Structure 1
Amino acid sequence: MAVTQQEIENRLWDAADELRVAMPEAQYSSVIFPLMFWKYLSDTWEHNHQEFLAENEGIENLSAEEAHEIEYRDYQSFEIPHITLEGGQKRRASWSSILATITQPGLGKRVRASLQAIETANPNKFSRLFGSMTWAAEEVLPGEVLAAVMQAMNRTPEMHEGNMSHDVLGGAYEYLLKRFSDGSGTRAGQFFTPREVVELIVEVLAPQSFESVYDPTCGSGGMLIASANLLKASGGRGYTLKLYGQEAVMDTAGVARMNLFMHNLTQFQVEVGDTLKDPRFKNPDGSLAQFDVIVANPPYSMKWKPWTNDQRALGGVAPQSSADWAFVQHMIASMGPKKGRAAVVLPHGVLFRGGQEAAIRQRVLDDDLLEAVIGLPANLFYNTSIPTAILVFRSRGTKATERKDGVLFIDASKCFAKARNRNILTDADIAHVVTTYHSSFDANGNAADADGQEGLTARFVPKTEIMANGYDLNIGRYIKQAAAAQEDLGTLIDAYNIARAERQKTEQRMLEVLAAAGVVGFDE
C-alpha cells in the first residue's frame, strides 16, 4: 500500500515530539535528522539484502567473501558494517539491530558507534555525514528519551524505494526542516531559507541541464535541491546538475548532505569551512573554482576578519563590521566567464551604505556586473523581520544587450500574504516577479510587457542616473512606489509628533485644573 505524505510527516513529528522533555525545539534537528537518515539507510540496505537473498538460490554454497562480492556489486550501493559491542558481541550497525537493544544501558553509545561505523565504511559517500553527534551522550539525551524517539520513529513506514518515492521522502525531510524552523526562532536562519524565497531565486537564474550550481553558504541545501527540482519540473534533467555547497557549521553541513540524498541527488559535494576565510572549491593552481549558477542567503552583516591580500577583493575590502559585500565579491569571483550568474539575499544596507562598501559597489557597477535589484517584503525570514533584497549578477560582458549599462529595479515589497509567524510570497507573487524580471523595457525604463500585478513596480535605470546619485542603489530613489512609501512614513511620523504634543498640552491643562480643585496624585 502506498505511503501518503501526510502519514510519514505525522509519524516523524510524533518522534520529534518525544524530545520535548529533554531539549528545546531549536535542537530537535540535530537528533531527528541523523536518526531519520540512519533508518532510511538501514531500511534501504535491508530491502536490497532481501532481494539479493530471494534472487540467488544456493547462496549458502558460496563463501562469505563470494556472497559479499555479489551483493555489493549488484544490489547494494553502500555498506552497513558490523560493530563490536561491550562484552564482545557483534551486531550489524543497522537501525533494526540496535533498536532490539533499547532496553539495555548505553543506547546512546551504540547509536553513535553505529553511525560512526557507517561513515567509516563509506568514506566517499558518508564521511562526516552525521555531524558531531554530541546529542548521543547520556547527559545530553537520556537513554529512555532516545529509546522513546526511536520507538516512535520505528512506527514510520519503511523508508526505501520499494515502499515510498524519493519525492515523498524528500518532502517529509523538508516538512521537518520547516516545522523546526517555525518553532526555533532566530536559530532557524542558520540552515533554512523559506521555500518561496528559494524558488524565486532559482526561477530567476533558471539552471539548465548539465550546469553546475554552487551555494557558498548552503545551510540545509535547500537552494541546491530547488535548482534540481525546478529543472525537473520544467522538463529538464535535474539529476544532471552538478551541485556544490560549503557550510561553516559541521552539523548543518551534515543536514545538507542527508537532505540531498533523501531527494535522490547524488552528484553533489558539500564541504565544511568558512567560505570567506577558507574557500574549499579551488582549481589545481589555487584559483577559485567557477560555476554556472551561484545562489546564497549568507548571514547578514556578520563581523569578520577582512582579507589582507585576496584575489576576490574587487573594488576594495569590506569593513570588519559587515561581511555582506565580501560574500558578494566571493560570488562574483566564482562566476564562470561564459554564462555565470548569481543571486544573493541581503539587507537593504548593502544598497546605500558608504565607506568601503560604497567603493566596492561603485566598482561592481562600473564593471556592469549587477543586473537587478529585487526588493522583498519585510518579515519573510525566520531570523529577522527586516526587509531584504535579492541582488542578481552576471559575468562581465554576458548581460543581454538591452540590459547593458544599467540595473533593473523591481519593488515587490507589497507582494505578500500574512501567515502565522511571518509574511510569505505566494505562487502568484513569485510568478509576477519572474515575469517582470524577464520583461522588456521601453526608453523610459518602464516595463513594456509585464502583467500589471498590483503592488509590483519595476524600472530599468541607466548607469548614468545611478552615477548621478553617487552609486546609491536605494530602491526608493528609482521607483515611485517605494519612494511614496517612504514619504508616507515621514508624514505619519510628523502627524504622530503633532498629536503627541497636543496630548501632552491637554494633559498638562487637565492636571492644572484638577490641582486647582484640590485633586492631586494623577501625575505620580
Structure 2
Amino acid sequence: MVVTQQEIENRLWDAADELRAAMPEAQYSSVVFPLMFWKYLSDTWDHRHQEFLADNDGLDDLSPEEAHEIEYRDYQSFEIPLIHKGTVEKRRASWSSILATVTQPGLGLRVRTALQAIETANPDKFTRLFGSMTWTSEEVLSGDVLAAVMQTMDRVPKMHEGNMSHDVLGGAYEYLLKRFSDGSGTRAGQFFTPREVVELIIEVLDPKNFESVYDPTCGSGGMLIASAGRLKARGGRGYTLKLYGQEAVPDTAGVARMNLFMHNLTEFQVEVGDTLRNPRFKNPDGSVATFDVIVANPPYSLKWKPWTNDPRTLGAIAPQSSADWAFVQHMIASMGPKKGRAGVVLPHGVLFRGSQEAIIRQRILDDDLLEAVIGLPANLFYSTTIPTCILVFRPAGTKAEERRSGVLFIDASRRFTKGKNRNTITAADIADVVAAYHSKLDSDGNLLDLRDGGDLIARFVSLDEIKGNGYNLNMGRYIKQAAVEAEDLGTLIDAYNVARAEREVAEARMLKVLAAAGIEGFDE
C-alpha cells in the first residue's frame, strides 16, 4: 500500500493531538518524536525480519546463533533486542510488543525500558537517541494518555521502506516540527529554523559531493538535512556528505539524530554540549576541527561566560551580554583553510554594536574574512519578530579576486510574503538573492548579473569605504533602501545608556570649566 504524504501527516497529528489535555503544545515533540522513531525502527526491523525468514526457508538446520549472524549480516542494520530475558515477561523491545500491553499498569516504565534497551543494543548508532524520556513517568504523562497516543499513532501505516519512501517519512517529520513551531510560540521555535531561510543559506554555501558540513548549534538538524537535500536535487550524491552537529540540549540533539535517520542519512555525528564552552569536535592537538561548510542559526544575544584564554578569540572577546560574535569566531576557527565557507543567521545588531564587538568586527574586516551580508525581512522566525541577516565568511586569501578587500551587501528585506503568524520567503525570492550573491562585478563594484527584482538591491562596498564609516556595517550606510537600522530592544537600551553616560561626562566637564571661569547657575 502506497502511503501519501497527507495521510501520514494527518494521522501523526491526530496522535500528537491526544496530548492536548496533558501538556502544552510546545512539549509535544518530546513525546511524539521518540514514539514516531520507535515505530519506524520497529516497523523497519519487522519488515526486514520477514524478508530474512522468506529468503531462508528451512532454518531448522541453523542454530539460533547462526541464524542471528546471517540476519544481522545481510538484512538488519540495527538491533531490536529482547528484554526481560529468562522470564515469563520476555518480549522484544518493539513497538508492537509493548503496544499489546497498553491496558496494563506501568506502560510508561515498559516504554522506557524498551527504548533504553534499543539504545544499549546499538551504541554506535542510538546512544542517547531518545533523550531524557521524562515523559515516561506517570507523574508527567499518565498511562491512559500515553496509551491513547500510541493507539492513535498505530493507525499510521507501516513505516518501512517497502511501504513509504524516506522522502515521505522525512517530510512527515519536518511537518510535525513546523506544526509544533507554528502553534507553540518561542519554545518549540527555538530549535526550528524556517525552511526557506535554511534553503537560502544552503544555496549560498553550495555543498559539494564528499564535503563535510558542520552546524555548531544544530537544533533539530534541519540545516544538515537541507545540505544533503540540496545536493541531491542538483544531481549530486547527498549521501556522500559527512554531517556533524553539536547541540546544547540533549532532547533536541535526540530530535536531530532521529530527523537525520528519518531522511535516510546515516553518515552523521551529533554531539551534546555547549559549543562555546566545550566544542566536541577537535583535532588531536586540541584545536577545533575544521570543515568545508559551516552553517548555524545560533540563539541570539545569548548571555554567556566569556573565554579567558581561548585560541578562537579573534580581535577581542565578545561581551558577556551577547555571544553573537563568539559563535562567529568559533565558526571562523572551524573553516577549512582552503575551501571552507561559513554562513550564520544573526540579528542586525552585530553589524554596528560597539565596544568589544566593534573590535572583533574590525579584525575580521581587516583580515578580509567577511564576504557578504544579506539582509532578511522582519518576522521570519518563530522565536523573534526582528529582522535578521546572513553573514557569509571565507578563509583569508580564498575570496574570488574581484571580491577581495570588500563586502557584498544584499538587501532582501522587502522580499517577503506576509502571513498570519510570520512572513515567508518564496522560491523566487531565494533564487534572486542567490543570483545576486553569485553575480560578477564591474570595475566600479556594481553587480553585472543582478536580476531586475525592483526591491532587491545589492552593492559591493570596498574596505576603504567601510573603514571610513568606522567599520560600521549597518546596511543603511551602504544601501539606500535600508533606511532604518534594525535594532533589537536590547541594542537600543545599550546605545541609550552609553549615550547618556557620555552626555553626563561631557556636562560635568563643561560645568567644571564654567565654574573655574566664575560662571555659575548652569547646574540648577
TM-score by length of 1: 0.92
Q: Within the alignment, does 1:91 sit opposite 2:87 as a pair? A: no
Alignment of 1:476-515 (within 5 A): 476-483=476-483
Name the structure 1 match of 2:497: none
Secondary structure of 1:213 counterpart: strand
Whether the aligned pair in 1 keeps the contact of 2:304 and 2:322 (CA below 8 Å) is: yes
**Corresponding letter in the other structure for 1:6:** Q
How far is the alpha carbon of 1:444 from its aligned partner?
Answer: 3.2
How far is the alpha carbon of 1:448 from its aligned partner?
Answer: 1.4
Name the structure 1 match of 2:218: 218
Distance 1:250 1:279 in 2: 15
Distance 2:190 2:42 in 1: 29
Name the structure 2 match of 1:430: 430
Secondary structure of 2:20 counterpart: helix
How far is the alpha carbon of 1:384 from its aligned partner?
Answer: 0.2
Distance 1:30 1:450 in 2: 45
Distance 2:28 2:86 in 1: 29
Whether the aligned pair in 2 keeps the contact of 1:25 and 1:184 (CA below 8 Å) is: yes
**Corresponding letter in the other structure for 1:200:** L
How far is the alpha carbon of 1:420 from its aligned partner?
Answer: 1.8
Name the structure 2 match of 1:259: 259
How far is the alpha carbon of 1:58 from its aligned partner?
Answer: 1.0
Name the structure 1 match of 2:469: 469
Whether the aligned pair in 1 keeps the contact of 2:130 and 2:251 (CA below 8 Å) is: yes
Identity fraction in percent = 80
Residues 470-493 of structure 1, C-alpha deviation per residue, up to 9 Å, x if partnerless? 00000000001113x569xxxxxx
Name the structure 2 match of 1:278: 278
Distance 2:406 2:189 in 1: 32
Name the structure 1 match of 2:145: 145
Whether the aligned pair in 2 keeps the contact of 1:371 and 1:394 (CA below 8 Å) is: yes
Secondary structure of 2:408 counterpart: strand
Distance 1:318 1:425 in 2: 31
Gaps of 5+ in 1: 488-524
How far is the alpha carbon of 1:2 from its aligned partner?
Answer: 1.1
Q: Within the alignment, does 1:349 sit opposite 2:365 as a pair? A: no
**Corresponding letter in the other structure for 1:369:** L
How far is the alpha carbon of 1:445 from its aligned partner?
Answer: 2.6
Distance 1:188 1:42 in 2: 27
Name the structure 2 match of 1:493: none
Distance 2:95 2:196 in 1: 35
Whether the aligned pair in 1 keeps the contact of 2:26 and 2:185 (CA below 8 Å) is: yes
Residues 25-68 of structure 1, C-alpha deviation per residue, up to 9 Å, x if partnerless? 00000000000000000000000000111111111232111111
Name the structure 2 match of 1:27: 27
Instruction: Note closer, same or farther for the CA distance 1:220–1:171 as it changes in structure 2 (3 Å cut).
Output: same
Distance 1:444 1:57 in 2: 75
Gaps of 5+ in 2: 487-524
Residues 341-392 of structure 1, C-alpha deviation per residue, up to 9 Å, x if partnerless? 0000000010000000000000000000000000000000000000100000
Whether the aligned pair in 1 keeps the contact of 2:27 and 2:188 (CA below 8 Å) is: no
Secondary structure of 2:218 counterpart: coil
How far is the alpha carbon of 1:191 from its aligned partner?
Answer: 1.3
Alignment of 1:65-104 (within 5 A): 65-84=65-84, 88-104=88-104
Residues 139-179 of structure 1, C-alpha deviation per residue, up to 9 Å, x if partnerless? 11100100000000000010000000000000000000000
Distance 1:83 1:420 in 2: 49
Whether the aligned pair in 1 keeps the contact of 2:474 and 2:485 (CA below 8 Å) is: no
Residues 306-326 of structure 1, C-alpha deviation per residue, up to 9 Å, x if partnerless? 000001001110000000000
Residues 438-466 of structure 1, C-alpha deviation per residue, up to 9 Å, x if partnerless? 11122333221111112110100000000
Distance 1:354 1:188 in 2: 32
**Corresponding letter in the other structure for 1:216:** P
Alignment of 1:203-352 (within 5 A): 203-352=203-352
Alignment of 1:134-173 (within 5 A): 134-173=134-173
Instruction: Note closer, same or farther for the CA distance 1:358–1:90 as it changes in structure 2 (3 Å cut).
Output: same
Distance 2:253 2:46 in 1: 27
Whether the aligned pair in 2 keeps the contact of 1:85 and 1:110 (CA below 8 Å) is: no
Secondary structure of 2:482 counterpart: helix
Q: Which moved more, 1:447-456 or 1:140-149?
A: 447-456
Distance 2:140 2:88 in 1: 26
Name the structure 1 match of 2:188: 188
Secondary structure of 1:424 counterpart: coil
Whether the aligned pair in 2 keeps the contact of 1:14 and 1:153 (CA below 8 Å) is: yes
How far is the alpha carbon of 1:87 from its aligned partner?
Answer: 7.2
Distance 1:189 1:276 in 2: 22
Alignment of 1:41-60 (within 5 A): 41-60=41-60
Whether the aligned pair in 2 keeps the contact of 1:315 and 1:359 (CA below 8 Å) is: yes
Name the structure 2 match of 1:370: 370
Distance 1:122 1:157 in 2: 25
**Corresponding letter in the other structure for 1:35:** L
Secondary structure of 1:300 counterpart: coil
**Corresponding letter in the other structure for 1:238:** G
Whether the aligned pair in 1 keeps the contact of 2:218 and 2:256 (CA below 8 Å) is: yes
Alignment of 1:407-422 (within 5 A): 407-422=407-422
Whether the aligned pair in 2 keeps the contact of 1:344 and 1:392 (CA below 8 Å) is: yes
Secondary structure of 2:111 counterpart: helix
Name the structure 1 match of 2:499: none
Secondary structure of 1:481 counterpart: coil
**Corresponding letter in the other structure for 2:478:** Y
Name the structure 2 match of 1:522: none
Q: Within the alignment, does 1:122 sit opposite 2:111 as a pair? A: no
Whether the aligned pair in 1 keeps the contact of 2:166 and 2:264 (CA below 8 Å) is: yes
Distance 1:445 1:18 in 2: 58
Residues 176-215 of structure 1, C-alpha deviation per residue, up to 9 Å, x if partnerless? 0000000110112321000000000000000000000000
Distance 1:77 1:126 in 2: 12
Name the structure 1 match of 2:62: 62
Secondary structure of 2:373 counterpart: strand
Whether the aligned pair in 1 keeps the contact of 2:182 and 2:189 (CA below 8 Å) is: no
Corresponding residue pairs, total: 486
Distance 1:190 1:486 in 2: 24
Instruction: Note closer, same or farther for the CA distance 1:75–1:475 as it changes in structure 2 (3 Å cut).
Output: same
Distance 1:296 1:449 in 2: 28
Name the structure 2 match of 1:498: none
Whether the aligned pair in 1 keeps the contact of 2:119 and 2:126 (CA below 8 Å) is: yes
